[in-house]
Amino acid sequence: MKRIALLRERHVRSASTGTHCPASGLWTPDQSPDEAHTFFEGQVFPTYQGTPTVWRRRAAGQE
């Protein structure tokens, strides 16, 4: 049962500053969609240039 719940959480495509990263990968801040940062599952999303932001997960193969 726990495994199913975790799989659903990994499909999250965006998260806000201060929340935990649902899945490892490349994430971009809303203010700079061309800039990618690597976050690992469980890390807390930081602010971007001192401002809270929404982080969006990049699709596989998107560079």
The pTM assigned to this predicted structure is: 0.78
pLDDT at 32: 95
Q: Is 18 left (phi over 0), alpha (psi -120 to 50) or beta?
A: left
pLDDT at 59: 78
Distance from CA of residue 37 to its chain's centroid? 9
Summarised one tens digit per residue, pLDDT across range 19-61 is 999 999 999 999 999 999 999 999 999 999 999 999 999 976 5
